[in-house]
Amino acid sequence: MYPSKDLSRTIVFEQNGDAYPCDFFIDEKYKLGNIRHDSLESILYHERMEQFLSKKPSLPEQCQSCELLHLCHGGCPRNRIGENNHTGVEFFCESYKQVYRYAHGRMLKLAAAIKRSRINKAKSAGAPLPGRNELCLCGSRKKFKKCCETLLISKIK
């Protein structure tokens, strides 16, 4: 079983190895196991994790159509409950949007610089670069011509 693309699986580990689905839900009834004697897979797919994820309320339309949903996943259920237990937009939504938008371009530039550095190191070491239609060596699963080959030509702005 693999995680749903719509539900983020986050695990919080306590110092003693106990695992929980969220740092706001560290309670025995949410305990998923202990990394010292349980496998990561059994913790990720524990029945309590499934129950926790199923309790996440459906997202309001504003969230469903948001271009940043893949980053926040609608936020923490704890911060989406308003008056009379009505589910709304994440309390920190606008703050998250500011942070994500501020960081996005900078993270893309940083990723490009790291990829360029790795390609140049591989070339300097005499390693052959992939052909244009072969998979890129960065692991993106894209063709080299659509991924890192462009980094050999362009400069980061």
Q: Is the pLDDT of residue 121 over 80?
A: yes
pLDDT of 98: 95
Q: Could you say which DSSP state residue 81 is in?
A: B
Average pLDDT over the chain reads 84
pLDDT of 32: 97
What would the two tokens of residue 9 be?
A: 């699986």
pLDDT of 103: 95
Half-sphere exposure (CA, 13 Å, Cβ side) for 102?
Answer: 6
pLDDT of 5: 45
Q: Is the full-model pTM beyond 0.95?
A: no
Q: Which residues are designated catalytic?
A: 23
